[in-house]
């Protein structure tokens, strides 16, 4: 048996082969980690959701876009002519409105505490459709709370949280319920609060 002396440690040729294997494995592991990291960065950029491009004048979600910039591409309105704005139309729902509207393709989508999601003509204010998406009894005024979330309008579908613990997908043209999914109950609102007196 041939002994090799290195760093005051005697090694056999088999021990040296084991060291080479370990170094190779460490190098391979580092290369794999780098590759995974690089793929994660590139893959993250590739798999990142692409924000839907709103048509000029559209406001398809709360604060305009996925980045919540609250600014659109409208160049008509400016500080110089803002004083010339005037009320064009109004629409009365059966309850308070507690969310921002979405505006897509000339239609305004807004929910009300009366439990309905409304679609209104943006030019005239005329009702296009309304769909009941629920209400919840609450220990406050008014006792019936309906739609409190702003709608997102994507590819002809209106997504909105109903007043009844369901998330709804509505057809943007007709208001027909495409699907709904239960997302949780509201037990603190569904039952009166208990007060314990001394």
Question: 180 with 114, same domain?
Answer: yes
Q: pLDDT for 4-17, tens place per residue?
A: 555 555 555 555 66
Stretch 128-139: mean pLDDT, rounded? 89
**Range scoring the smallest mean pLDDT among 95-99, 107-111, 121-125, 189-193:** 189-193
Selection from 145, 108, 137, 131 nearest residue 179 by Cα: 131
Residue 99 sits in a domain of what CATH number? 2.40.10.480
174: pLDDT strictly greater than 60: yes
Give the residue-averaged pLDDT of 160-169.
90
- Give the whole-angstrom CA distance, residue 175 versus residue 185: 24
Residue 183 resides in a domain: yes
Compute CA 171 distance to the chain's CA centroid, rounded to the nearest angstrom: 18
Residues 102 and 163 in one domain: yes
DSSP classification of residue 59: B
How many CB atoms sit inside 10 A of residue 16's CB? Answer: 12
Number of structural domains in the chain: 2
Q: Are residues 185 and 95 in the same domain?
A: yes
- Print the domain residue range for 20: 4-44
Specify if 119 maps to a domain: yes
């Amino acid at each position: 048996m041939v002994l090799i002396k290195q760093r005051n440690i005697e090694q056999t040729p088999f021990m040296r082969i084991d060291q080479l294997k370990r170094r190779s494995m460490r190098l391979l592991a580092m290369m794999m980690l780098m590759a995974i990291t690089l793929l994660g960065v590139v893959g993250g950029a590739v798999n990142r959701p692409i924000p839907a491009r709103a048509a000029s004048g559209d406001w398809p979600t709360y604060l305009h876009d996925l980045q919540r910039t609250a600014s659109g591409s409208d160049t008509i309105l400016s500080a110089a002519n803002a004083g010339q704005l005037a009320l064009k139309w109004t629409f009365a729902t059966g309850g308070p409105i507690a969310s921002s509207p979405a505006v897509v393709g000339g239609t305004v989508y807004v929910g009300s505490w009366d439990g309905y999601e409304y679609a209104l003509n943006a030019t005239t204010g005329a009702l296009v459709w309304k769909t009941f998406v629920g209400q919840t009894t609450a220990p406050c005024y008014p006792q019936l709370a309906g739609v409190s979330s702003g709608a997102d309008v994507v590819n002809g579908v209106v997504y909105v949280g109903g007043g009844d613990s369901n998330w709804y997908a509505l057809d943007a043209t007709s208001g027909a319920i495409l699907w709904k999914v239960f997302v949780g109950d509201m037990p603190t609102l569904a039952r009166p609060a208990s007060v314990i007196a001394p």
